[in-house]
Structure 1
Amino acid sequence: MIRRGTAMDGKRVLRLSNGLQMRIGNLRAGAGFAVAAVLLAAISTGLGLTNTGFFDLLSALSGDPLSGAEGYALWTVRLPRILLGFMVGWAVALSGALLQSIARNPLADPGLFGFSQGSMTMIMLLLIVAPAAPKSLVVLAAVAGGLCVAGLLLWLVGGERSSGLSIVLMGIAIETVLSSFGSLLILYLPTETSIALSEWLAGSLFQANWTMITAFIPLFVLSLAGILLVGPAMATFDLGTEMAMALGEPVARSRPVILVFAVVLSAAAVTAVGPLVFLGVLAPHIAGFISPAIARARLFLSGLVGGILVVAADAVTRSLAGGLPLPLGLSLTMIGVPLFIIALRLQALRKQQSR
């Protein structure tokens, strides 16, 4: 049974019979983000050198086959890029939202903690030793690298009472060391290998295909289940470690689980498209500006915004580059950073007016 009500902060909510409540504003924002993602995907199917698009896709789904060039452009190039881009953006943004709650730092993301660098360093070492390594081994290397950094981070900060600030500072130190090591590898490797690694580090959906999407779908589904499981803990972590422990949250167990969850999401994204710098910070902030939320709602909205940003960045890559392979990371910065600045500025103006 669902009933309308009012939360303690005056926001209108829907209450379920099991005690769960959802803010109506968050539900509307989630529906709006979902519609925006679908519309953006439909527009993106028509971007490219081949003259085909969404209506041709509908015709193909209804049984009218496409010609060779049009079918290749839609089924082999554009749809895989759109689907993989959304799922990768979802994963990175969700990872960033999780880490921001743990660290109580609005700038926390997989890159700041060193998780992305750990995955990238392990992948680079693997590709140097075994350039023809299978994709499954690359994925395992990425996850292993991220988990090693997570374990080192937990060991260095020491204990369940460690503050969010100590986690962030230690993460920055680890990230700096790994970034320096990665730069050293690129600098002294053979030219061909250095160029290939540099292109991958810039981020790209060029290699998106249905095999990668099939491998990523289980993680995407598991991330939805993960939101339901770790969502309540996020609400307590937002209050600080001491308060979370006072409220009965088993920090010693839940924090490592959440870190592993964030590492797996980040490692999978790095393996698929390379690092997406700053997305883990951008998406949660933009989502929070549009519809402030906590716990499960914040994670879900952040993931949707992350997916939208990556699909939009890929659309820019294919429409404005004039055939030039513009790095996904660059186009993501071109779209996300101005939105981030506008959101922060409007938020500051909102606070001034409320005084």
Structure 2
Amino acid sequence: MNVKSKKPLAVAAVTLLLICIVFFISLNMGVIRIAPLDTLRVFFGQGDARDQLVLFEFRLPRMVLSLLVGAGIAVAGAIFQSVSQNDLAEPGILGINAGASLAVVLFIFFFQGSAVDLSMFSTWLLPVSALAGAFLAAFLIYVLAWKKGVSPVRLILVGIGVNAGFNALLLIFQLKMDPRDFMQALVWISGSIWNANWKMVLSILPWLLVLLPFSLYKARYLNVLQLGDQLAVGLGTRVEKERRVLLISAVALTASCVAAAGGIAFLGLIAPHLARRLTGPRHQTLIPVSALIGAFLFLLADTLARNVLVTFEVPVGLVISVLGAPYFIYLLMKAK
């Protein structure tokens, strides 16, 4: 095994170690502080009832959900960047997040002031709305970008246009909402997993168990698509078919993650870039390392979001935006 083949394994091992460290630290931090030894006692069945409730019913589902969402968004970003052949592509920029967010805001807007108790149905109706909105956005982007096939340039430009249009509609409906509903929608759009539970974890887990291995299986096609359409066709690849399948899988990953955690910006941009710098462009290593980096960054951001301010919790999406915006500006400055 040469040095180049060992590097991705080393990067993955270090990232896993960092995830474990942040995971253990996050278990102990929060409004209710739990000492490290008390945390270990809980896992061995010797802790008190309060610590068991806090860890198993509140913190653990939230942290597991953070890992799943971070991995899913990162892999979706890696697919979007490869399919569009644009290093600045990610679900938020292409309009997928905006489509999901618009659907949720419309749901809240049309039910405001009605006899329906949103708190009873939001656990499953809001995610369903987000999924529908994300797939609608993807469908519009693909149809509008079609011109004897879908070129990467048209795909990214149409995605940016659809994103701008959805965000404008989003703002219009937000301004017409009741203040209480407006705050509910704003927190969700900003990215938040404050109400995470095991049901939500189980709702997103099947998507990731199917789509993440499928993305890794399609890694060889992502490698070929990065060479350009003409060369890919010359190598015997059915470009449009593979691009369509990969886009559907990336949209499904994004939609499931957005349905669970709201609009998360920049994570799908940062994680694949860091993975590419550390392991190279080969997707057989890029995809799993991107998933690990995305999981680590989201867990770290959520830990900071829960503990930066004492009076209230900062939406995790805002923390990721604060961390990701400087890197995004750096990429824009470096882009040719």
Same fold (TM over 0.5): yes
The residue aligned with 1:111 is 92
CA distance in structure 2 between the aligned counterparts of 1:139 and 1:128, rounded to whole angstroms: 15
1:124 corresponds to 2:105: yes
1:38 corresponds to 2:35: no
Moved over 4 A (4+): 337-345
The residue aligned with 1:19 is none
What pairs up with 1:108-187 in 2 under 5 angstroms?
A: 108-130=89-111, 132=118, 133-159=121-147, 161-187=149-175
Matched residue count: 328
Residue from 78, 90, 94 that aligns with 2:71: 90
The residue aligned with 1:353 is none
The residue aligned with 1:191 is 179
**RMSD over aligned Cα, in angstroms?**
2.3
Residue from 29, 49, 54 that aligns with 1:47: 29
CA distance in structure 2 between the aligned counterparts of 1:191 and 1:216, rounded to whole angstroms: 30
The residue aligned with 2:43 is 61
Residue from 195, 215, 222 that aligns with 1:207: 195
Preserved contact between residue 227 and residue 300 of structure 1 (Cα < 8 Å): no
Preserved contact between residue 53 and residue 74 of structure 1 (Cα < 8 Å): no
Preserved contact between residue 82 and residue 311 of structure 1 (Cα < 8 Å): yes
Q: Which runs of 5+ in 1 are unaligned?
A: 13-22, 349-355
Preserved contact between residue 160 and residue 252 of structure 1 (Cα < 8 Å): no
Shift of 1:196: 1.3
CA distance in structure 1 between the aligned counterparts of 2:291 and 2:172, rounded to whole angstroms: 33
CA offsets 1:188-241 (integer angstroms, 9 cap, x no match) = 122221121111111112111111111122122113321232111110111122
Residue from 247, 266, 277 that aligns with 2:254: 266
CA distance in structure 1 between the aligned counterparts of 2:171 and 2:26, rounded to whole angstroms: 34
Distance 1:155 1:311, change over 3 A: same
TM-score of the superposition, structure 1-length normalised? 0.85
Distance 1:53 1:227, change over 3 A: farther
The residue aligned with 2:311 is 323
Residue from 213, 238, 250 that aligns with 2:226: 238
Shift of 1:323: 3.3
Preserved contact between residue 88 and residue 307 of structure 1 (Cα < 8 Å): yes
The residue aligned with 1:20 is none
The one-letter amino acid of 1:123's match is V
Moved more, 104-113 or 216-225: 216-225
The residue aligned with 1:17 is none
The residue aligned with 1:351 is none
Percentage identity across aligned positions? 27
CA distance in structure 2 between the aligned counterparts of 1:112 and 1:333, rounded to whole angstroms: 13
Moved more, 94-103 or 148-157: 148-157
Residue from 238, 250, 254 that aligns with 1:250: 238
The one-letter amino acid of 1:82's match is M
CA distance in structure 2 between the aligned counterparts of 1:56 and 1:214, rounded to whole angstroms: 27
1:81 corresponds to 2:73: no
Distance 1:344 1:164, change over 3 A: closer
Whose helix fraction is larger, Structure 1's or Structure 2's?
Answer: 2
The one-letter amino acid of 2:213's match is A
Preserved contact between residue 157 and residue 167 of structure 1 (Cα < 8 Å): yes
Q: Which has the higher contact order (CA 8 A, sep 6+)?
A: 2
Moved more, 122-131 or 83-92: 122-131
CA distance in structure 2 between the aligned counterparts of 1:295 and 1:284, rounded to whole angstroms: 10
Preserved contact between residue 286 and residue 343 of structure 1 (Cα < 8 Å): no
Distance 1:72 1:323, change over 3 A: farther
CA distance in structure 1 between the aligned counterparts of 2:36 and 2:23, rounded to whole angstroms: 9
- Helix, strand or coil for the counterpart of 1:45? helix
CA distance in structure 1 between the aligned counterparts of 2:307 and 2:122, rounded to whole angstroms: 32
CA offsets 1:19-44 (integer angstroms, 9 cap, x no match) = xxxx2211221122112111110111
Moved more, 299-308 or 127-136: 127-136
CA distance in structure 2 between the aligned counterparts of 1:83 and 1:261, rounded to whole angstroms: 22
CA distance in structure 2 between the aligned counterparts of 1:144 and 1:156, rounded to whole angstroms: 18
- Helix, strand or coil for the counterpart of 2:28? coil
1:287 corresponds to 2:275: yes
1:312 corresponds to 2:312: no
CA distance in structure 2 between the aligned counterparts of 1:86 and 1:61, rounded to whole angstroms: 19
